[in-house]
């Protein structure tokens, strides 16, 4: 049976959605419309990003509080430890806990001096995400997701160092990893072979980025160390001035990537929503899913 037909039949695919905290009243409106729209897909959880150095603490906390209280969604709060003492981090954890958070996405964060500059840990802080995971685990029995990098983190010396960091996060109590977005499923499959060989047994969930705008995406991907295969140039060629066809291609590309991963045996996906619903809806519809069947499942 084709994967789309399987999805139609039982919708067994696991989904999570990532949002970022709004920075203006317009973005606030857009976020909550998007959350209302996407919660119809019955995600396993949603997550809200957190500015490195605590720059978005208040809006992240507010968004998380509403997602748990009003939208009744299982919500994970991202948490970074860059430029923060352990005490600072623990205070933030307490605030999130009081808001009902039981799931953190534990991250080091980018250096406040800019991506690509050397990372200097706070003298009384956690040096990396593995240490943060250990600290969280000592506080409570949280669900703890962490990052993973199929194409290695730009700061990692090599692939082995990168896997080693994921192993340390796993050993310290991480319960799931969410990957940086990628477009080459062979790269992810080879990465998963290394993950399994390292004895890491938690789910390492593919992060899927539906492409709103290929030019902007390329700039962002360059900073993240994600390669953008040339087939994407071909697929989006000539569509700069044609938003309708561009959105259709973007939905096809992301759905094809997920279908291919399903054929390879992966059934859990973390979607970077960019706080917009239409493209995510189109991707999931292309996969043969329907909100009604997922709610009933």
What is the set of active-site residues? Answer: 18
Q: Which residues contact 252 (CB under 8 A, 6 or more apart)?
A: 235, 286
Beta carbon nearer to ligand FAD, 117 or 140: 117
* Residue from 44, 53, 268, 273 nearest 143 by CA: 44
For the record, the structure tokens of 160 come out as 């082995």
d(CA 286, CA 38): 15
Per CB under 6 A, which of residues 203..262 are in contact with ligand FAD? 207
- Nearer CB in complex with ligand FAD: 11/125: 125
* Shortest Å, Cβ 230 to ligand FAD: 24
What distances in angstroms separate CA 126 from CA 58, 159, 263, one per listed residue? Answer: 21, 23, 39
CA-to-CA separations, 228 to 106, 217, 218, 224, in angstroms, rounded: 26, 9, 7, 11
- What minimum distance in Å lies between the beta carbon of 98 and ligand FAD? 20
Q: 159 vs 252, which CB is nearer to ligand FAD?
A: 159
Site string for ligand FAD, 138-177 (x = CB under 6 A): ---------x-----x-xx----xx--x------------
CB-nearer residue toward ligand FAD: 138 or 285 = 138
- To ligand FAD, the closest distance from the beta carbon of 134 in angstroms equals 12
- Please provide the DSSP assignment of 161-205 as one string: HHHHHHHHHHHTT--EEEEEE-S-HHHHHHHHHHHHHTT--S-EE
Q: How far apart are CA 75 and CA 32, in angstroms?
A: 14
Q: Give Rg (Cα) of the chain.
A: 19
Please report whether residue 108 would count as binding ligand FAD according to CB under 6 A.
yes
Nearer Cβ to ligand FAD, position 12 or 223? 223
**Minimum distance, C-beta of residue 289 to ligand FAD, in the bound complex (Å):** 22
| Shortest Cβ 205–ligand FAD spacing (Å) | 9
- Binding stretches for ligand FAD (CB under 6 A): 49-52, 78, 80, 105, 107-110, 119, 128-129, 147, 153, 155-156, 161-162, 165, 178, 180, 207
């Amino acid at each position: 049976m084709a994967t789309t037909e399987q999805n139609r039949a039982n919708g067994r695919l696991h989904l999570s959605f990532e949002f970022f905290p709004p920075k203006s009243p317009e973005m606030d409106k857009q976020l909550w419309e998007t959350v209302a729209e996407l919660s119809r897909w019955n995600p396993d959880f949603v997550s809200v990003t957190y500015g490195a150095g605590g720059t978005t603490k208040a809006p992240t906390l507010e968004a998380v509080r509403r997602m748990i209280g009003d939208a009744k969604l299982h919500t994970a709060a991202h948490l970074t430890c860059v430029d923060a003492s352990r005490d600072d981090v623990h205070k933030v954890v307490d605030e999130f806990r009081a808001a009902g958070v039981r799931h953190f996405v534990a991250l080091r964060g980018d250096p406040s001096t800019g991506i690509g500059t050397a990372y200097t840990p706070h003298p009384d802080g956690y040096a990396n995400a593995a240490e943060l995971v250990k600290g969280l685990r000592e506080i409570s029995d949280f669900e703890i997701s962490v990052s993973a990098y199929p194409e290695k983190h730009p700061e990692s010396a090599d692939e082995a160092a990168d896997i080693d960091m994921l192993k340390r996060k796993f050993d310290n109590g991480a319960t799931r990893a969410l990957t940086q977005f990628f477009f080459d499923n062979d790269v992810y499959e080879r990465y998963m072979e290394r993950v399994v060989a390292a004895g890491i047994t938690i789910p390492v969930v593919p992060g899927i980025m539906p492409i709103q705008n290929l030019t902007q995406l390329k700039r962002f991907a360059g900073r993240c160390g994600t390669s953008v295969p040339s087939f994407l140039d071909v697929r989006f060629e000539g569509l700069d001035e044609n938003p309708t066809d561009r959105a259709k291609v973007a939905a096809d590309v992301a759905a094809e990537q997920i279908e291919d991963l399903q054929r390879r045996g992966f059934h859990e996906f973390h979607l970077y929503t960019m706080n917009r619903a239409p493209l995510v809806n189109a991707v999931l519809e292309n996969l043969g899913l329907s909100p009604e069947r997922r709610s009933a499942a």
